[in-house]
Amino acid sequence: MKSRTRTRWLWLAVSVVLMLVSAVGASFVQTSGGEVEVKDLRWETSQGGAMSGLLFVPEGVSGENPAPAVVVSHGMNNNREMQEANYVELSRRGYVVLSMDMYSHGWSDPVSDIGTLTTGMYQAVNKVAGLDYVDDERIGITGHSMGGISSNVAVQLDEAMGTGLISAVLINSTEAVYADEETGELANIYGARDVGILAPQYDEFFFDDVDEQGSATAARDFIDYGNAQSFLHFGAEPEDEPREPGVFYYQEVDGEEALRVIYNPSVTHPGAHHSPQAAEDTVNFFEEALGAPNPIPAGQQVWQIKAVFTTLGLIGFGMFIVAVTSVLLRSSFFSSLRVADPVRIRSADRTGKIWFWSTLVAGALFAGLSYLPILTSVTVAGGGWAQIQTYGIGMWAAANGLFVLLMLAAFYFFYIRPRSISLAERGVTLSWAKAGKTAALAVVVTALSFLTVFIADYFFSTDFRLWTLAVKTFPADVITTALFPALPLLLIFFIVSSVAANSINFVRIGRSEKEREWLNTMVLALFNMIPVVGLLLVQYIGFYSTGFLPFAEANIQTVWLYPFVVILPVSTVISRKIYRETNNPYLPGLINGLIVTLIASSNTVTWAA
């Protein structure tokens, strides 16, 4: 018994060490070994709203030695940390970098409309321009997707206000402005600024055009058609040979030499966040436009090392959930929830096995076939909720939970009940006392798990993430926003899924008990993941082969699936680990539901009422 207790504390210690190594390592990379200071900013804008951002200040920068600055922005449903490739690589080359949270994202105040949201970039430029160690004649901006749209708005505001603060613009994964809004004629709205476009060849949202016959063209052919060519010709109708991607083109505008360039990396829209080629293009652009105080070849990149460390933290976070639950189950208050011996997988006859496999297949088919109809209808309608993304995902999750619940009801009436199998033995029924402790333990585990994230952020300005999957800090408002409707909807899925995977589990796969356990868990995790992976494969195999999305009307909804490729199988493993110690399917269901809700709600756009 003592040996088992020591093992549980050991796993808890290992998970904490992994998260600590993650935070220290990620901090070391993003500070260039201590040569870049990272400041967590909150400031009041001229519009009366609060904005947040991470400010990277290289060593040696001062009022006597000002440096060029670049404001970088994420896109819709993301946050400031998503720009890690850009802020790591630019700051280590000597630029002052402000990675902003757009309005309605992260720690910035929510706004009620997209028009106000897109003005945030200009507010961030004003903030940077007011720093005495910034060369206000060399300020650049770059934004991804909605951040790119915000970059266009920032240029227009810069012109309208007559401030002339923006010298260079790299529009990432969104369209430039090619024509005058009033006349519709080709125009150069950027003036003498240096401007580039980073146009992914497999962008799901932008860079379609029309050919000579008026037919739609694919994003991968963007460079060959009118919008791209007019941009590279500074807003004029092309008259010479087609201009090429990756080449700097210069022209005198208003007595100054200006440049235009289009980069065309072979990545997707969200892939531009996590692409060595896109990072290289960004470095090259600002090197040409602003000049780097500390030139380093663009291909020499270290942000990937930070990504490895933050992924390590994500692994440690998942391990911590299981380990801290196991340790708390040994406390005097929660010990009544623990069972003396680990719960084993039950055996079943041939009929039971048919039910088991049929339930898995039917659940996977329903999940895959229902996703697009539910998400497209729900997110278009909006529902009036502050977070449309979590509302839509929650509705899909709840629909799947209810479908599985119906199948479990049929399983019970036609198989379990006739055989007098006890639901109490499987933990399906709980006393009120145990139910209360179950809920309390789930809240405590969730709070302790996210406490590790806040500690990493407070001391090291890092979080735990892998590309689009991020476990990060959040303002208190996120908790109240997540409570309804996202939390109840996601709890329906995770609780029902836990009951199905743990209490109604009658198949032995493998020979030894240990082999049966991990094979069974692997099968359950696989079937949880199949609908998500299947949809993504259909969407992107078609996209890469034809240049057009098979489900073009659901471009953003399929992008939202990326984190669930990891979340769904990992939550299954967590569920199995906790159930084996408690014979209680509701505890892991509640823990998974609470944690996934907070992850989802802290990584999306939140509209003000």
Among candidate residues 263, 296, 329, the one where a domain is terminated: 296
Q: Which residues contact residue 383 at a Cβ distance below 8 angstroms, ignoring those fewer than 6 apart?
A: 391, 485
Q: Given this model, what pLDDT does residue 224 score?
A: 96
> Are 343 and 244 within one domain?
no
Categorize the per-residue pLDDT at 539 as very low, low, confident or very high, splitting at 50, 70 and 90.
Answer: very high
In terms of pLDDT, which residue wins out, 357 or 111?
111
> Are 288 and 365 within one domain?
no
| Chain centroid, CA 195 distance in Å | 28
pLDDT digits (tens, 9 = 90+) for 494-513: 999 999 988 876 565 555 55
Among candidate residues 296, 329, 349, the one where a domain is terminated: 296
> Are 246 and 312 within one domain?
no
> Are 63 and 139 within one domain?
yes
Q: Given this model, what pLDDT does residue 533 score?
A: 97
Residue 344 lies in a domain: yes
Is residue 209 within 8 A of residue 226, CB to CB? The reply is: yes
In terms of pLDDT, which residue wins out, 2 or 33?
33
- How many structural domains compose the chain? 2
Q: How many residues does the chain have?
A: 609
Q: Given this model, what pLDDT does residue 519 score?
A: 84
Compute the average pLDDT of residues 119-132.
Answer: 98
Q: Given this model, what pLDDT does residue 511 score?
A: 59
Nearest CA to 398 among 375, 381, 415, 420? 375
Q: Which residues contact residue 370 at a Cβ distance below 8 angstroms, ignoring those fewer than 6 apart?
A: 396, 399, 400, 403
Range of the domain at 152: 35-296
Q: Given this model, what pLDDT does residue 420 score?
A: 76
- Name residue, tokens 């706004």: 111
Q: Given this model, what pLDDT does residue 515 score?
A: 60
Q: Given this model, what pLDDT does residue 608 score?
A: 94
Compute the average pLDDT of residues 356-365.
Answer: 92
Compute the average pLDDT of residues 513-519.
Answer: 70
Among candidate residues 278, 296, 314, the one where a domain is terminated: 296
Categorize the per-residue pLDDT at 344 as very low, low, confident or very high, splitting at 50, 70 and 90.
Answer: low
> Are 357 and 246 within one domain?
no
Across 174-183, 419-428, 458-467, 547-556, least confident range: 419-428
Nearest CA to 173 among 193, 203, 152? 203
What percent of the chain has a predicted confidence (pLDDT) above 90?
Answer: 85
In terms of pLDDT, which residue wins out, 424 or 324?
324
CA distances to 256, 390, 523, 528, 569 from 534, in Å: 52, 21, 16, 11, 14
Residue 608 lies in a domain: no
What is the rounded average pLDDT for all residues in the chain? Answer: 94
| CA distance linking residue 335 with residue 180, whole number of Å | 70
Residue 554 lies in a domain: yes
> Are 393 and 467 within one domain?
yes
Does residue 189 surpass a pLDDT of 80? yes
> Are 100 and 119 within one domain?
yes
Q: Given this model, what pLDDT does residue 508 score?
A: 59
| CA distance linking residue 326 with residue 128, whole number of Å | 48
> Are 157 and 288 within one domain?
yes
Residue 173 lies in a domain: yes
Is residue 375 within 8 A of residue 396, CB to CB? The reply is: yes
**Edge-to-edge strand list for the sheet holding 256-263:** 36-44, 50-58, 96-101, 67-73, 134-144, 168-172, 194-198, 256-263, 249-253
Categorize the per-residue pLDDT at 362 as very low, low, confident or very high, splitting at 50, 70 and 90.
Answer: very high
pTM equals: 0.95
Helix (H, G, I), strand (E, B) or coil at 503: helix
pLDDT digits (tens, 9 = 90+) for 391-442: 999 999 999 999 999 999 998 888 888 887 777 777 888 999 999 999 999 9
> Are 311 and 291 within one domain?
no
Residue 27 lies in a domain: no
> Are 44 and 123 within one domain?
yes
Residue 463 lies in a domain: yes
Residue 358 lies in a domain: yes
Does residue 341 surpass a pLDDT of 80? no
For residue 104, give the CATH number of its domain. Answer: 3.40.50.1820
> Are 216 and 334 within one domain?
no
Q: Given this model, what pLDDT does residue 411 score?
A: 86
CA distances to 312, 421, 457 from 38, in Å: 21, 60, 11
pLDDT digits (tens, 9 = 90+) for 17-72: 999 999 999 999 999 999 999 999 999 999 999 999 999 999 999 999 999 999 99
Residue 12 lies in a domain: no
| CA distance linking residue 354 with residue 603, whole number of Å | 40
Categorize the per-residue pLDDT at 481 as very low, low, confident or very high, splitting at 50, 70 and 90.
Answer: very high
Q: Given this model, what pLDDT does residue 2 score?
A: 59
Is residue 390 within 8 A of residue 600, CB to CB? The reply is: yes
> Are 208 and 155 within one domain?
yes
Task: Extract the tokens encoding 100.
Answer: 């902003």
